[in-house]
């Protein structure tokens, strides 16, 4: 009997790999007119839209009944107000169709719709298939076509993130990190890694080019070599709280700052010991697509992930994780110490 979610895993890997090729190819040619600033002031590029179109097109054909909670929507592309936005739509369509061309080497099936040229309307509809509201029951995919768009724009870390959630529990996570060095110690060496986890079946990694998967287990970390992983963007996670937290745990190494869920990937293979994300007080609610695949990866690599109070993340509340109590992920022993340290820092802050 095939392992649970075997087909979903195969389709998700194929879709994420195709999106990674697309985003990498766009980066070198990206021009400013192909980046739109969203209402919340965050950026979205031609590559975010095209990657969401590709992944949703494949999911729609492979699993027609599954709803998708995707970050982007096609509003700007449907009603372009400027010549630049018209050009953006045409480029999204061209890029998505290019990325959906059949590959003679990949293990893919025709019924996933690979190779069929899509019209602009079909691709915009595929993007908007990501507007599902989420909720506690049933199957749904969570997609972040480019997590860390700011990292993507600065040539730093970003990740194409896809997860399958069933009855509020993340069962499968696939993440592609085109700019992540295969060996963190060799930043100029080969780049591009894929991370895969299925609940109850473990976590694994491979390069973007070779299909061989290598199992991942969070290594034990002695307190003297604890290193914190945190967002590069100070608005996304409180750097000042992290500094107090680090002091509390006697961490002397400087934090490893990078954009996107690449932090979960780094953690799962032992680059950094703790991923800490603390709210900055702007009332932001974390989105499920920013943490779904990372959370199952860390869990399956043998680690623990909770909010800053030690409570589980709830992926069944809708498009967000609800009120923001931060996130902490680490191997189980380090995680328990981290929760205690957070509690102490919060108590000291409350006394001030
Ligand atoms: N004020 C805020 N607090 C926390 N996260 C935020 C935020 N504003 C945006 N984000 C999210 O942070 C993500 C990037 O995570 P990180 O900080 O780990 O690099 C963004 O994903 P996108 O780049 O997909 O929009 C966005 O969803
Ligand atoms: Mg975004
Ligand atoms: Mg994101
Ligand atoms: Mg994104």
Query: CATH classification of 6-159 is 3.30.540.10, yes or no?
Result: yes
pTM (global) more than 0.90: yes
Confirm whether residue 71 is marked as ligand binding. yes
Q: For residue range 267-304, what is the model confidence (pLDDT) as tens digits? A: 999 999 999 999 998 899 999 999 999 999 999 999 99
At 130, is the secondary structure helix, strand, or coil? Answer: coil
Quickly state the pLDDT bin for 118 (edges 50, 70, 90): very high
Q: For residue range 187-234, what is the model confidence (pLDDT) as tens digits? A: 999 999 999 999 999 999 999 999 999 999 999 999 999 999 999 999
* Domain spanning 223-351, CATH class: alpha beta
Quickly state the pLDDT bin for 39 (edges 50, 70, 90): confident
Q: Has residue 328 got a pLDDT over 80?
A: yes
- For ligand 1, whether the C-beta of 148 sits within 6 Å is yes
d(CA 286, CA 303): 21
- For ligand 1, whether the C-beta of 48 sits within 6 Å is no
Average pLDDT, the chain: 96
Cβ pair 47, 94 in contact under 8 A: no
Q: Has residue 338 got a pLDDT over 90?
A: yes
Count of other CB atoms within 10 angstroms of residue 112: 20
DSSP 199: T
Nearest CA to ligand 1 atom 11: 236
Determine what percent of the chain falls in helix, strand and coil, rounding each to the nearest 5: 40, 20, 40
Ligand showing the shortest atom-to-Cα distance for residue 52: 4
Q: Which of 51, 130, 148 to mutate to test the pocket of ligand 1 (most atoms within 8 A of CB)?
A: 148
| Catalytic residue chosen out of the listed positions 149, 205, 299, 306 | 149
Concerning whether 32 is annotated as a catalytic residue, the answer is: no
Nearest CA to ligand 1 atom 8: 236
Q: Has residue 156 got a pLDDT over 90?
A: yes
- Provide, rounded to the nearest whole percent, the portion of the chain with pLDDT above 90: 88
Domain boundaries, the chain: 6-159, 223-351
Q: Has residue 173 got a pLDDT over 90?
A: yes
Concerning whether 149 is annotated as a catalytic residue, the answer is: yes
- For ligand 1, whether the C-beta of 287 sits within 6 Å is yes
Q: Can you give the pLDDT at residue 163? A: 99
Quickly state the pLDDT bin for 87 (edges 50, 70, 90): very high
């Amino acid at each position: 009997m095939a392992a649970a979610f075997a087909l979903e895993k195969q389709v998700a890997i194929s879709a994420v790999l195709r999106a990674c090729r697309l985003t990498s190819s766009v980066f070198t040619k990206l021009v400013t007119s192909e980046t739109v600033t969203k209402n919340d002031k965050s950026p979205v590029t031609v590559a975010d839209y095209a990657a969401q179109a590709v992944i949703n097109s494949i999911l729609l054909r492979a699993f027609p009944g599954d709803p998708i909670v995707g970050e982007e929507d096609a509003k700007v592309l449907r009603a372009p107000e400027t010549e630049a936005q018209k050009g953006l739509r045409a480029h999204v369509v061209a890029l998505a169709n290019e990325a959906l061309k059949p590959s003679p080497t990949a293990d893919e099936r025709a019924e996933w719709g690979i190779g069929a040229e899509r019209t602009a309307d079909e691709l915009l509809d595929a993007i908007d298939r990501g507007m599902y509201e989420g909720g506690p029951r049933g199957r749904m995919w969570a997609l972040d076509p480019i997590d860390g768009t700011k990292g993507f724009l600065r040539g730093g870390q970003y990740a194409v993130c896809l997860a399958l959630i069933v009855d509020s529990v993340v069962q499968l996570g696939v993440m592609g990190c085109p700019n992540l060095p295969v060996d963190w110690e060799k930043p100029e060496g080969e780049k591009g890694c894929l991370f895969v986890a299925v609940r109850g079946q473990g976590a694994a990694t491979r390069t973007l080019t070779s299909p061989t998967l290598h199992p991942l287990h969070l290594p034990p970390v002695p307190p003297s070599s604890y290193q914190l992983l945190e967002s590069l963007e100070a608005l996304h996670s409180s750097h000042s709280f992290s500094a107090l937290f680090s002091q509390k745990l006697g961490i002397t190494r400087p934090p490893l700052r990078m954009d996107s869920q690449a932090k979960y990937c780094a953690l799962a293979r032992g680059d950094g010991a703790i991923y800490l994300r603390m709210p900055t007080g702007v009332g932001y609610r974390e989105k499920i697509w920013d943490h779904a695949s990372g959370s199952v990866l860390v869990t399956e690599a043998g680690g623990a992930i909770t909010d800053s109070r030690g409570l589980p993340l709830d992926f069944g509340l809708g498009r967000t994780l609800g009120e923001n109590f931060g996130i902490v992920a680490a191997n189980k022993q380090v995680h328990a110490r981290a929760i205690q340290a957070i509690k102490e820092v919060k108590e000291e802050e409350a006394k001030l």
